[in-house]
Amino acid sequence: MAPTSQLRSWMESHRDEMVQDLRDYASVETPSDDKELLDSGLAWLEGWLHERLGAPASRRVIDGGQYGDMAIADYTAGSHDGEWLTALCHYDTVWSKGTVDDWPPSIEGDRLTGPGVFDMKAGLVQLVWALKAAAALDLPRPHVRLVLNGDEEIGSPVSRPVIEEAVSRGGAVFVFEASADGAIKTARKGVGIFRVEARGIEAHAGLDPEVGASAIDEIARVVAQLHDAADLTAGTSINVGLLAGGTRTNVTAGVAIADVDVRVSSAAEAARVDALLADLAPKDPRASLTVSGGWNRPVMTRSAGTADLFARAVEVAGSLGLTLTETSVGGASDGNFAAALGHPVLDGLGAVGAGAHARNEWVSLDGLVERACLAAGLLESVARDAAVPSEDDRVGV
């Protein structure tokens, strides 16, 4: 690895530029549900990337339809041979148009706050400056395929196959989502989004109570059954987050709907939940229950390859005087898709801070510099190990 002092000194000398980049980026609004702002945001991003990194070796944009487009850019490292690495970053945020007007990016001490800074605009800034450091200090690095996703915050409905194709070249996958209190995310739960619809028979609740079949009664029983099926010790949470039904207080409800969020830590638990949903049945035979939706993201397990990547990250962090830990989290990311295909994934390489999706979202500026150094060191480590021939190669087997 390059001398630690050299890398840290270079990054510190560009601290103000990094901070300004993040402030500028956070000022560009990119809400997941605003196609016009997503388009202008991606155009801004590509202009900034060109300014900071130059033209990529190749670039393509995939139409996201009503959602944000996806951009894929390959930043090769000299020779056509060598290791490839995919970096996943989403540019959409949960913040609605106009948020930045009354909550502009601002700095207080070590903290920079603003819409999207933690989730996950700082992560991309860190990666870009890691690539700049590699070029400036002549550090070896792998070829990097950067995937910019515009629909991650709403479950990546269009981008999933694009991401799966993008990582198919092979190699490690780095996800620059925010850290968890500084920890790297080496495992994530799978996520299912389901809707249960109950249909009954409408009738006058006072005059003909025996004629009606209440959809609300049926959906209430479903809610209790689903919540009772949660098993937190097995890593399974089941939450009915939205309920709707009925028309009037004096009318037996003809329709009721429950929207359900499910998180699981294993394929076995996912299968158990599938069976539970398939077996739902109404108490009143005149009513019906219909289940729609499905699994939004597969489980991201801590594979041997991911464990090896984390061990490498700990070593690099140690050389920088940093302590690195790992964790498993209930939230999902695009890293889940890559892990399900068998790729080693390091997630949470982005910001040190807190407040994802909250009005107090913030990132540490010291952390911004440190994580950019970590990313540069990891890129160098991956490239150096790939350049060392295996034992079989050395003996000519």
Q: What is the pLDDT of residue 387?
A: 60
pLDDT tens string 172-203: 999 999 999 999 999 999 999 999 999 999 99
Q: Give the pLDDT mean for 47-61.
A: 97
Tell me: do 23 and 144 sit in the same domain. Answer: yes
CA nearest 347: which of 298, 303, 306? 306
Residue 309 lies in a domain: yes
Per-residue pLDDT at 386:
67
Helices 15-26 and 122-136 cross at an angle (nearest 10°) of 150
Bin 342: left if φ > 0, else alpha if -120 < ψ < 50, else beta: left
Residue 53 has pLDDT above 70, yes or no: yes
Taking the model in full, what pTM does it have? 0.90
DSSP label of 169: G
Q: Across the chain, where does the E strand assignment appear? A: 58-62, 70-75, 84-90, 106-108, 111-113, 143-149, 173-175, 184-188, 190-199, 237-245, 255-264, 288-297, 326-329, 345-346, 353-354, 362-364
- Does residue 350 belong to any structural domain of this protein? yes
Q: Label residue 2 by pLDDT band (50, 70, 90).
A: low
Percent above pLDDT 70 for the chain: 96
pLDDT at residue number 397: 31
Query: What is residue 396's predicted lDDT score, i.e. its pLDDT?
Result: 39
Query: What number is the average pLDDT over the span 236-246?
Result: 98
The predicted-structure confidence for 385-395, as pLDDT tens digits, reads as follows 766 544 443 33
CA distance 213 to 370: 62
Instruction: Tell whether 210 and 244 lie within a shared domain.
Output: yes
Instruction: Look at residue 273 and tell me if it is in a domain.
Output: yes
Residues 202 and 78 in one domain: no
- Kindly state whether residue 13 falls inside one of the protein's structural domains: yes
Residues 147 and 248 in one domain: no
* pLDDT, position 320: 95
Whether 152 maps to a domain, the answer reads yes
Return the bridge partners of 143, or none.
84
200 and 174 assigned to the same domain: no
- Of 297, 316, 348, the residue at which a domain comes to its end is 297
Assess contact for 58 and 147: CB atoms under 8 A. Answer: no
Asked if residues 209 and 252 have their Cβ atoms less than 8 Å apart, the reply is: yes
Residue 198 and residue 151 in one domain: no
Q: 78 and 131, same structural domain?
A: yes
| 284 and 345 part of one domain | no
Q: How many domains does the chain have?
A: 2
Last residue of a domain, one of 278, 297, 316: 297
Decide which of 277, 297, 317 is a domain's last residue.
Answer: 297
122, two tokens: 């700082």
pLDDT at 169: 87
Sign of the CA dihedral running 266, 267, 272, 274? positive
* Whether residue 218 sits in one domain with residue 277: yes
The predicted model gives 150-175 an average pLDDT of 96
Q: What is the pLDDT at residue 82? A: 81
Q: Which amino acid, 106?
A: S
Average model confidence (pLDDT) across the chain: 95
Q: Is 71 within the bounds of a domain?
A: yes
Give the range of the structural domain holding residue 246, as residue numbers without chain letter: 190-297
Same domain, 77 and 164: yes
Q: How far is it, in rounded angstroms, from Cα 187 to Cα 300?
A: 5
77 and 151 in a single domain? The answer is yes
pLDDT digits (tens, 9 = 90+) for 342-387: 999 999 999 999 999 999 999 999 999 999 999 999 999 999 876 6
Distance CA 138, CA 304 (A): 31
User: What does the block give as tokens for 233?
Assistant: 């010790």
What is the DSSP code (8-state) at residue 94?
A: S
Domain at 205, CATH number: 3.30.70.360
Residue 248: inside a domain, yes or no?
yes
pLDDT digits (tens, 9 = 90+) for 88-143: 999 999 999 999 999 999 999 999 999 999 999 999 999 999 999 999 999 999 99
φ, ψ for residue 362, nearest 5 deg: -150, 160
- Domain contains 397: no
For residue 80, what pLDDT band results from cuts at 50, 70 and 90?
A: low
Angle made by CA atoms 159, 163, 166, in degrees to the nearest 5: 140
CATH number of domain containing 370: 3.40.630.10
Least reliable range by pLDDT among 12-16, 82-86, 209-213: 82-86
Same domain, 197 and 270: yes
Q: Is the pLDDT of residue 283 over 50?
A: yes
